[in-house]
Amino acid sequence: MAIYLSFKEIWRNRTKYFLFSLVIALISVLVLFTAGLGEGLATNNKEYLEKLDADLLVFQTNANYSTIESRLDYKKYKRTRRIEGIADAGPIAFSNVKVVVNPSEEPVDVSFIGVEPARPGAPKALLGHDLKSYPSKIALIDQNTADLIDAKVGDKITIKSTQGTEDKLFELTVTGIADGQRYFFRPSIFVSLSTWDKLRPKSDPDNYTTQPVLNIIAVKAEDIVSTSYLENAIPTIIDDVELTDIKTAYESAPGYSEQQGTLNTIKGFTFLIGTLVIGGFFQIQILQKLPQIGMLKAIGAPNRLVSAAVISQIIIVSLIGVIIGTLATFALAVTLPSNVPVYFTASSVTATIITLLLIGPIGGMLSIRMAHKIEPLTALDM
């Protein structure tokens, strides 16, 4: 009966309720885009670290788990590999270079990452071959880089690196293409550690070694028990290092927590605004329907029937609005340029949609309370 009454009224006043559904749709678009933007910015910052085939990361002590500040001697990597309980370990070093696509166009900024081939830290190729130590002038690029510069396996790419006071160009052959591996908002190019040290930007172009200074060491434990053991063992065996898990590492990146906190605050305020808007709309509807509700109560309709009818209306209108808003969001996302970091995951979209559907009934609680207090004779002016 309650659902029948809800549908009947919505259909008779379909223009009014449809317009309000569009208001809910706009709120849904704003919330979903904020969630997508937060996920996109986070992914651009952490994508490479999040996909590491490792359990722990070794940093320099007092580097605040920052890959930029951490500096580790290559000998510490060699010692780390020999510690009992470690299945494998890989050195990782970071810098930035530019890819020259066309002399008449602006070069593309990329993260230039040195790794040990076939060790933790070296991504697997989806196309072509995995990275190898020899020949030296080969590179594995991620899908983002391939899309930006329109590169394929076997193509030659030119990178520009500042060596001393001069910008020098180096040619690399694409041996393979990995999935998305963005690091610090840039697409990534991977080379062997020795090649990285030779080509990376540096003040002294002759400063080159086969055992360069690293930023971090990716450690893969033999099992879960070994992971707990290694967290205490490695800092004891090797001086001036500290360990953390991957999640803590990328959350410690400069600006990450502040960025996500700002976006979550915006999303929270949007939910609050949505709750107030929906609550205000249905409160006005209750005030406009005092005679009808009074008549229902006069003929014996219980409060639970009135409450169920109001809740049904809120759910139906909210559902229509959220569906329209979700479809509009995905349609708009398709039209956005590739450099706009909006990224949707099934978990974040589902959680956002469920929350949007819940704020309707929550906002309508005051309306239900008002409906309960309506006296039939007063509502009918008797």
Q: Which residue in 121, 116, 140 sits closest to 130, CA to CA? A: 140
62 pLDDT more than 70:
yes
Tokens for 314? 């809120």
Classify residue 181 by its DSSP letter.
-
368 pLDDT more than 60:
yes
Give the pLDDT score at 5.
66
| Chain centroid, CA 99 distance in Å | 26
- Under the banding of pLDDT at 50, 70 and 90, the label for residue 9 is confident
Please state, rounded to an integer, the average pLDDT across all residues of the chain. 86
38, 264 in Cβ contact below 8 A? yes
Tokens for 175? 């041996």
20, 282 in Cβ contact below 8 A? no
User: Helices in 150-255 by DSSP H: which ranges?
Assistant: 193-199, 224-237, 246-251
Arithmetic mean of pLDDT, 124-151:
92
Q: What is the DSSP string of 330-361?
A: HHHHHHS-TTS-----HHHHHHHHHHHHHHHH
Q: Which residue in 161, 178, 183, 51 sits closest to 111, CA to CA? A: 183
155 pLDDT more than 70:
yes
81, 217 in Cβ contact below 8 A? no
Tokens for 297? 């109560």
Give the pLDDT score at 8.
76
Q: How far apart are CA 325 and CA 348, in angstroms?
A: 15
Tokens for 53? 């085939």
Strand 156-163 and strand 86-100: the pairing is antiparallel
Which has more confidence, 137 or 224? 137
H or E stretch at 142: strand 138-142
Which has more confidence, 22 or 252? 22
Arithmetic mean of pLDDT, 86-113:
93
Q: How far apart are CA 4 and CA 316, in angstroms?
A: 12
Strand 86-100 and strand 216-221: the pairing is antiparallel
Arithmetic mean of pLDDT, 65-83:
92
Give the pLDDT score at 382.
52
Give the pLDDT score at 297.
67
Arithmetic mean of pLDDT, 198-222:
85
- Residue 236 CB contacts under 8 Å (≥ 6 apart), including other chains: none
Give the pLDDT score at 223.
86
Q: How far apart are CA 205 and CA 198, in angstroms?
A: 8
302 pLDDT more than 80:
no
Residue 3, by phi and psi: left (phi above 0), alpha (psi -120 to 50) or beta?
alpha
φ and ψ at residue 186, rounded to 5 degrees = -125, 150
Which has more confidence, 288 or 175? 175
pTM (predicted TM-score): 0.81
Q: Give the rounded percent of residues in the chain with a pLDDT score beyond 90.
A: 43
176 pLDDT more than 90:
yes
